[in-house]
Amino acid sequence: MSARTLFRNARLLDPASGLDQPGDLLVEDGRIAALGRPCAAGDAEIVDCAGACLAPGLVDMRVELREPGAEHQESMETGAAAAVAGGVTTIVALPNTEPVIDDMALVEFVARRSRDVGLARIRTYAAATKGLKGRELTEFGLLAAAGALAFTDAGRAIADAVVMRRALAYARTFDLLVMQHPEEPSLAAGGAMTEGEVATRLGLAAITPAAEVIMVERDLRLAEITGGRLHIAHVSTEAAIEAIRGAKRRGLAVTCDTAPHYFALNETAVGDYRTFAKVSPPLRSEWDRRAVVAGLADGTIDAIASDHSPHDQESKRLPFASAASGIIGLETLLPLTLELYHNGHLGLLDALRALTERPAAILRLPAGRLAIGVAADFVIFDLDQPWRIDVDALRSKSKNSPYDGRPVQGRVLRTVIAGRSVFLHRG
């Protein structure tokens, strides 16, 4: 594209400002120069949006990219390609790679690879404990200075309460964020799916839903003691959501996210041992699924993240108890979230806010909004276009998704980063 591009006849959507109106958006030198009323084209290249929605690029705050160490499952290049196809312009990668991202050199490696790939903007967390072993804290200050956005042991809970208290206190000295996987490990050990009738019928070792709220309530108390900033990842149970709701009322510095599979699926998706529906925390009851929707509707749950977790066939095509946990989600994040709008559970701006403004605010990223002067990172999508998810057509290197054949509404037409089209749907 030229240095000036005019996106004309769009439905402009910006949750940060409440904007929802037809209009134009002008890009100059990679930044938004004007938006709203019809703009004079001048020498700008013109893109006719034909009434499609134009919204800030999605900020996916929970993604496993597998590089370095397991590029046969996903690489930064294939993950970024999947991201832009899903309208995601900023990825935040988890540190559970091989080696673990627990030193400055690896944080800098992610930044270099992001520039080399040249698609989605890739940022990273750093491990909260060395080697994700839950014992010795990493150098939060130095890692943050190198570019780490927050600190987490990814899919492992920091089980030791003393270590977690130290992490929150240490992070507070630098005003940094600690992210926790909400599952008490001893209660979850050996379990394959959530406790209940389905697990009993299938004869699978179960994980009590209480494992989530027990960890959440412990960490809320530690956040209260230390004054640290706590983020609870992929909440999935009514009890945990209610605990977070109460903590927010008390003014604690706590935020949380969920993933589409916790509001789009329930435990019955496991069916007859479908390992593609095995996730951590596990899919919950219909009651808990509805509680997740309610938590999104009232703002208790701040953000929606894909929880993209790619696995090869060998990791998934195993007996259910032995199979790896996790599903891919970058390309299905937007249409599954739009189900909340189409089903009447959330307003359109509220649904988009959970994918843009809120995750950007939690991580203090200059992203997730449409405003004059900011980087021109946005997605253009057809809100109503129906299609079926075809796992084989997804750009992720791994294909472990339980949504194959699911009908959805909402198709990404174009993804733009710094004014440059990095994805264009050909359909």
DSSP per position, 178-196: EEE----HHHHTT--EESS
Would residue 384 show up in a list of annotated catalytic residues for this protein?
A: no
For 250, counting Cβ atoms within 10 Å of its Cβ (0-12 exposed, 13-18 middle, 19+ buried), the class is exposed
Element (H, E) at 63: strand 58-63
- The DSSP output letter for 283 is P
For 338, counting Cβ atoms within 10 Å of its Cβ (0-12 exposed, 13-18 middle, 19+ buried), the class is buried
Q: Which two tokens stand for residue 276?
A: 């593609």
Rounded to 10°, the helix 76-85/104-117 angle is: 60
Count of C-beta atoms within a 10 Å radius of residue 174: 14
Q: Report the phi/psi class of residue 80: left, alpha or beta, with left for phi > 0 and alpha for psi in -120 to 50.
A: alpha
- The DSSP output letter for 137 is B
Question: Are residues 257 and 302 in contact, defined by beta-carbon separation less than 8 angstroms?
Answer: yes
- The DSSP output letter for 400 is -
Query: Catalytic one among 102, 153, 307, 377?
Result: 307
Amino acid at 387: W
Q: Which two tokens stand for residue 360?
A: 């950007």
HSE at residue 371, side-chain half, CA atoms within 13 A, is 11
Catalytic residues: 307
